[in-house]
Amino acid sequence: MPKRTTIILEDDVYNMLVEESIRIYGNTRSLSKLVNELLRKAFRDRVEAEFRELLGSEKVARVTARELEEFRRELSRRLEA
């Protein structure tokens, strides 16, 4: 269920939102819809960027294929017990 809130926008931000709302929806009544879409995209982009950074970061542990296979077998054995 949508929640009502009040936010204080600086003039330049408000003007950009109004212009974008008119460009996309043809009116200013859709400001809430536009703000929701922009915030969702910003949060999604941030999460994706953090995930990419995590994948690309230096790995803490070094494991050989043999060690990984031994670990997998031990884990499987414990889960089946």
5 within 8 A of 15, measured Cβ to Cβ: no
21 occurs within a structural domain:
yes
- Domain of 54, in residue numbers: 11-80
32 occurs within a structural domain:
yes
42 occurs within a structural domain:
yes
Q: 29-50 burial, b if ≥16 CB within 10 A, otherwise e? A: ebbeebeeeeeeeeeeeeeeee
5 occurs within a structural domain:
no
User: pLDDT tens digits, residue range 52-80?
Assistant: 888 887 777 888 999 999 999 999 999 99
17 within 8 A of 34, measured Cβ to Cβ: yes
68 occurs within a structural domain:
yes
Q: 3-17 burial, b if ≥16 CB within 10 A, otherwise e? A: eeeeeeeeeeeeeeb
User: pLDDT tens digits, residue range 18-33?
Assistant: 999 999 999 999 999 9
| pTM listed for this prediction | 0.62
6 occurs within a structural domain:
no
Number of domains making up the chain:
1
